[in-house]
Structure 1
Amino acid sequence: MYLKRLQPFIYLGAFYILISFILRFIFIFHPLTTSRFSILEGTQMSLIGFINDALIFVLLSSLFVLYLTFISNTKYYHPWGGIILAILIFTTLYCIFYPIRIFREHGNLYAIIIILLSIKTLIFALLLYSNTSRFIVRNTIYFFIIFFYIFFILLNAVGEFLFWNEFGTRYNFIALDYIQNFKLLIGNILESYPISILLSVIIPISLCLTWIIYDKTKDNLIQLPTFQQKLKLIFPYIISAVLIGLFLISFMGQSKHPNNFYREIEANGLYKLYQTFIHNNNTNDFNSPTLASSQTYQFVSQAPPPNPPKIIKGEAEEQHKNVVLISVKSISASFLAHYGNTQNLTPFLDSLAQKSLLFTNMYATGIRSVYGLEALTLNIPPTVEESIVKRKNSSNKNTSGGVFKSKGYLIKYLYGGYNGFDNMQDFFRKNGYDVVGPESFRPHEISFANTWGISDEDMARKAIQIMNGEADSGKPFFNHWMTASNHRPFTYPDGKIEIPSTAKSREGGVKYTDYSLRKFFEMAKRQKWYNNTVFVIVADHCSYTTGKSELSVEGYRIPAMIYSPDGSIPAQHFNTLMSQIDLMPTLWGLLNFSHPDVFLGRDVMKPNYIPRAYIASQQDLGYIKDNYLTIISADTSIKQYQLQQKYSNLPAEFNIYYYPAPIKQPIRNLVNEAMTNYKRVYP
């Protein structure tokens, strides 16, 4: 009898573990998984993954356990049935009219809870007042719950595959950001993937498997267990769930394998998402014992900048040229022909690079637009957990726009995407920028838009219109334009490039953005302000960051160039290592600007510049210097890798690929420097 009651859990658990095993096998051989593993390593990953999945399923089955625990006929007897129904009605009405604070703060969660409470109340009322319907309704609910589990398991597997296909990793903070922006998530999914086809496959499979499990286990509902029998079933589950929870908190996700792909493949995606949620709500991760108790803590104490701050003096008369900063969405260096790409995806950028001051060895600070905006606007190393751009207390900062504004410039931020996603509009407005977004467009000015925003080509036309108006004012202008089209769903107007929009490919998104930039420059050349303008083109971040180490250096390599039509900034290659945060201070040096020394970015053209770069993800802070990568992680660990450049036919400055060799004993002075520089951002 005991084993018979466990049958539905055994069937569902076996199905979940099987699907997880297949998914893990796919990840091992996925093209984005650049590591190759031995049979022994594959077996170890599968075994540890099996344990991880089994433990997670025990916790996932809590909903099913809860349902089966409360199946009973006695709760409908007088007077308990009426009392329970009254409690359910009161609870539902109270939550509707007097929502608990946590519900108000999470609108989607609040709506789901209200719906579930309402359904539960209606079903209980139906079962209470209709004895004849009780067995039918109970079996229907039982069937639906089994269907829900199978459908969720399959849907999650598809989601994990698509996420790996995009980012080469299990669910992380990017997935969490999308979940928290539910409307954008749904719109993006509907426009990016063939949802109708996927559902037409997943739903029938789920129904068939549900019927098989239901047919084999439905007899459990004929003779319901007594209270004593339920205790025998639920007590071991509670003990197991508590022990598993403690185990997960203490050990799971603590793999020490040096290969990042290995750690990701053996992990469980749902638990990784949970970990991300916990870390995302813990702002003290980097005040860790490793930093606080380290012998090097004396090095990280930084005095605040002097008030008033030191002034960096220009070496000649200031050149108040117009400046157009274009942060190009998700353009990794690997997309440009200069760095070895043979797909001809960026013909315009490649041609412009030949006429520009090209920074061949620049690294993005992060893997999201907000980190690129932070680097280009605030000129500071990356902030983990949550970018300053997204924080509520993000007003009145020292910004690139502020430097230009102090010199009489008109400053604007132009973005065709829907800015509410990352708090962009609010951030730039609170820091003195005028914002030009989708609400600035008239209907006839939009030829194409998708869930993510207005096409880059439309934004290019709007930018020319804006800049013409600024030029007529007689004042110089600084405009920061961020492109938007190179983002999933990767759709754009048909007939513009040879890759059809229906392909919904990243290559198409890259090429359409390059096409739009060419159109922008073609229009700009016809304007009177063109020759008196400096154009700065840089990626906001890269398109991928997967690799053997926690932070893949080739994934953070981005293109950057400064183009001056009048030749005042000569075309050349600058091959020295630099960070994205150095781009604007370097531009100010080229324009001979004097400005307060309140930024951590440096002018790389100065003889006292010390080459280094900052790269980071949500939970790892990276510091590149002297061909070493030092990583400070939120889990209190410090790792270091020697970067050995891989063989390539390309010149060394364009070879972006390195083999990260783990260092057993990190070089102490590099660790000290990393801690010192990052602590300046986390005082």
Structure 2
Amino acid sequence: MKKNSGRYLLTFKFIIGFLTISLVIRFAFLFWQISDIKLTLLSFLRIIATGFFFDIGVLSFILLFINFYTLILPNKYVGSYFDKLIVYTGFFLITTVLVFTFFAEITFWEEFHCRFNFVAVDYLIYTYEVVQNINESYPLIILIPSIFFIVFLIFISLKRTNTFKVIFNSKSLLSTKLIFFFTTVFLALFYGLYIKNNQAELSSNRYENEISKAGIYSFFSELKNNKLDFKTFYQNIDDNKAFAILKDKLQNENTIFIPQDSLSIKRNIVDTLEERKPNVIFILMESMSADFMKTFGNHNDITPFLDSIANNSLFFENLYATGNRTVRGMEAVTLSISPTPGQSIVKRPNNSNLYTIGSVFREKNYTCNFFYGGDGYFDNMNSFYGGNGFNIFDRGRGSILSDDIKTKRTNINDEEVTHENAWGICDEDIYNKMIIEADRCYKNKERFFNFIMTTSNHRPYTYPSGKIDIPSGTSRNGAVKYSDFALSQLLEKAKKKPWFENTVFVLIADHCASSAGKDEINVKNYHIPAFIFGANVKSKKTPVLCSQIDIFPTLFSQLNWNYESNFFGQNVLNKEYEPRALIATYLKLGLLKKNNSLCILSNKKECNQYKWDNKTNELVKVNSNSILNQETIAWYQVADYLYKNNKLN
């Protein structure tokens, strides 16, 4: 055998193949979002160059292992059975993973319109739900064999070009091995220590930034950085000033702050009218965007029930979700708090025994129940709600949450289920389970607060057949229409119950069906519907700009409740309420004001201000207003401070 660089022939071909496929994927995403990108020659070259730069970063980490093996393998073992076993195994493993990853990037983009982010990292934990969802959403019987077939074709191609023959008959000088190895070590250290994923964000257009990234690089970046320290990554102000600003925003004639530590927002909410204590059924609707409703201009007639109650409820016409995931919606309504960067508090440690809406209900002698049609282990729901005083009803296994959680867990049994997919039982089934528990509470003379998280309006969009005129599993429109139908059936069944006349219904979406857009934050894709009706709640449409965090403070005001509050939300019907909405991704934190001014904090310690055109959904950058900057910082900095200092109890 000659001593040359033939040993690296497979490596060279791998590099060329990886870069080529990455470029093809990048072109595919460009074509996919072409209508959302103002593509110029300069922006095109920037996307391609930036993408190439991050692809090299991915390659440096992969090649580090390959070149290390080549370095430590003595030349006398080149071409041995051991060498062939390692090379063939490594080839099939790496190639299969990469081909799968490229397929996954396409499906992830279809769902979220971005490269892998912290959602992909989260999904690694919940393998059952994710695998089932993929299985029900995509033709795995075709997809999986296709992946292996592609890997096999690549292998045959390399075989026919004698690539393996060359590398098994080529030895390399030690100097050559050292050059290749230390080059990859240098590159891996350079990328690992100095190159952050957000450095690809060179454009004001979010799609351009996402296309510029590399999916694998993004994934491992999120794996490393899904928890962010606010003061390290964001503009901040003195804590005392932040609390002073927020207290000023929370102050009104019904609010009395409790004299104590100045770094607190605890206060008493007072009302002079007699308290009413009806039962409360709260439904957090999966992915129910406002623009699904005819009320907001949709012409598909997929929400007849929600449209019908818009005129017969306290209807919030201008309310926005705080985030783009279910756990963000849960955090917003349950804790009534501004979202903080990184993970939702629902999924963080130290999230038990907090001051939640359940705390207020329990003070009024309500039984608090949480209903979820899937396994509540998903997204840490059971731990969070069980640890904060809710009884759990879910589709999981076992009846005990943990030794330190005193609430009970009840399984939803097979005989109670008519339809089920990867995410859980259909909405009608979970409503039926809730009705059974409501009947039990009524019989035992218990006031109840029933919190239901729905699942039907979620990919793979399957539901019981014969319920609506859109076949199951065919489209999001079908899932929306079935979810709306299930709500109508719930109300029809509830009307026949003795507890109905003394029950308030509260409906709100957890987030929109999609939040992606070309701007830092796509404001329109945070607009969600919300309703309060029943038990003598006066019907009214309110166009006031508000947030998910305001839904329960507004309900408590409708019931004339006196209570202690540690909430960021307010009664939006109070004459002193100052319209605003908090909207965020897990990195970008925004404050929207009634004149459509939007201030966005980013993890680069930047604070940008925009004017949002609600007709075109465009953000136009404007000069910064220091008062708005500081107010935005205060809303988020105070929330972060209270959580980190265990002051959310």
Q: Which has the higher helix share?
A: 1
- 2:123 is equivalent to residue 178 of structure 1: yes
Shift of 1:301: 4.6
Distance in 2 of aligned mates of 1:369 and 1:193: 22
Q: Is the 8 A contact 1:150 1:210 kept in 2?
A: no
Distance in 2 of aligned mates of 1:223 and 1:454: 59
Shift of 1:273: 1.5
Shift of 1:38: 3.0
Question: What does residue 520 of structure 1 align with?
Answer: 490
Question: What does residue 662 of structure 1 align with?
Answer: 621
The AA in structure 2 aligned to 1:189 is I
- 2:202 is equivalent to residue 256 of structure 1: yes
The AA in structure 2 aligned to 1:242 is L
Change (3 A) 1:402 1:47: same
The AA in structure 2 aligned to 1:300 is A
- 2:158 is equivalent to residue 213 of structure 1: yes
Question: What does residue 22 of structure 2 align with?
Answer: 20
Q: Is the 8 A contact 1:258 1:662 kept in 2?
A: no
Q: Is the 8 A contact 2:228 2:341 kept in 1?
A: no
Question: What does residue 306 of structure 1 align with?
Answer: 258
Distance in 2 of aligned mates of 1:629 and 1:277: 29
- 2:440 is equivalent to residue 488 of structure 1: no
The partner residue of 1:60 within 45, 59, 62 is: 62
The AA in structure 2 aligned to 1:441 is I
Alpha-carbon displacement from aligned partner over 1:128-155 (angstroms, at most 9, x marks no partner) = xxxxxx7345335423433333333322
Alpha-carbon displacement from aligned partner over 1:437-461 (angstroms, at most 9, x marks no partner) = 2243232111122222222111111
Alpha-carbon displacement from aligned partner over 1:567-592 (angstroms, at most 9, x marks no partner) = x2232210010010001010111111
Shift of 1:383: 2.5
Shift of 1:42: 2.4
Change (3 A) 1:6 1:225: closer
Question: What does residue 157 of structure 1 align with?
Answer: 102
Distance in 2 of aligned mates of 1:391 and 1:149: 33
The partner residue of 2:112 within 152, 162, 167 is: 167
Distance in 2 of aligned mates of 1:211 and 1:489: 36
The AA in structure 2 aligned to 1:627 is N
Question: What does residue 571 of structure 2 align with?
Answer: 603
The AA in structure 2 aligned to 1:58 is S
Change (3 A) 1:673 1:421: same
Distance in 2 of aligned mates of 1:33 and 1:190: 31
Shift of 1:524: 0.7
Distance in 1 of aligned mates of 2:41 and 2:488: 49
Distance in 2 of aligned mates of 1:574 and 1:195: 47
Question: What does residue 72 of structure 2 align with?
Answer: 70
Shift of 1:244: 4.1
The partner residue of 2:11 within 9, 15, 19 is: 9
The partner residue of 2:359 within 374, 395, 402 is: 402
Distance in 1 of aligned mates of 2:148 and 2:35: 30
Question: What does residue 321 of structure 1 align with?
Answer: 278
For 2:424, what is the secondary structure of its paired residue?
coil
TM-score of the aligned structures, taking structure 2 as reference length:
0.88
Q: Is the 8 A contact 2:588 2:602 kept in 1?
A: yes
Distance in 2 of aligned mates of 1:21 and 1:554: 31
Q: Please list, as runs of the form range in 1=range in 2, the aligned pairs for 1:501-650 lying within 5 A after superposition.
A: 501-503=472-474, 505-564=475-534, 568-625=536-593, 626-646=595-615
Q: Is the 8 A contact 1:536 1:563 kept in 2?
A: yes
Greater shift in the superposed pair: 6-15 or 576-585: 6-15
Greater shift in the superposed pair: 205-214 or 365-374: 205-214
Distance in 2 of aligned mates of 1:678 and 1:519: 40
The partner residue of 2:426 within 444, 455, 462 is: 455
Among all aligned residue pairs of Structure 1 and Structure 2, give the percentage whose two residues are the same amino acid. Answer: 33
Question: What does residue 407 of structure 2 align with?
Answer: none
For 1:624, what is the secondary structure of its paired residue?
strand
Question: What does residue 392 of structure 1 align with?
Answer: 349
Q: Is the 8 A contact 1:548 1:660 kept in 2?
A: no
- 2:191 is equivalent to residue 230 of structure 1: no
- 2:189 is equivalent to residue 242 of structure 1: yes
Shift of 1:46: 1.9
The AA in structure 2 aligned to 1:661 is V
Shift of 1:31: 5.6
Alpha-carbon displacement from aligned partner over 1:462-510 (angstroms, at most 9, x marks no partner) = 111111111222232211111112223322222222332343x333322
Greater shift in the superposed pair: 391-400 or 459-468: 391-400
Question: What does residue 674 of structure 1 align with?
Answer: 632
Greater shift in the superposed pair: 180-189 or 509-518: 180-189
Distance in 2 of aligned mates of 1:32 and 1:374: 35
For 1:4, what is the secondary structure of its paired residue?
helix
Distance in 1 of aligned mates of 2:162 and 2:608: 52
Change (3 A) 1:498 1:42: farther
Q: Is the 8 A contact 1:33 1:168 kept in 2?
A: no
Shift of 1:2: 4.9
Distance in 2 of aligned mates of 1:618 and 1:181: 19
Distance in 1 of aligned mates of 2:412 and 2:239: 52
Shift of 1:539: 0.2
Shift of 1:252: 6.2
Distance in 2 of aligned mates of 1:607 and 1:32: 45
Distance in 2 of aligned mates of 1:203 and 1:289: 43
Count of aligned pairs: 607
The partner residue of 1:446 within 396, 400, 417 is: 417
- 2:387 is equivalent to residue 430 of structure 1: yes
Question: What does residue 401 of structure 2 align with?
Answer: none
Distance in 1 of aligned mates of 2:414 and 2:57: 53
Q: Is the 8 A contact 1:19 1:154 kept in 2?
A: no
Greater shift in the superposed pair: 170-179 or 634-643: 634-643
Unpaired runs of at least 5, structure 2: 248-256, 261-265, 396-409, 642-649
For 1:682, what is the secondary structure of its paired residue?
helix
Change (3 A) 1:194 1:137: farther
For 1:171, what is the secondary structure of its paired residue?
coil
Q: Is the 8 A contact 2:524 2:614 kept in 1?
A: no
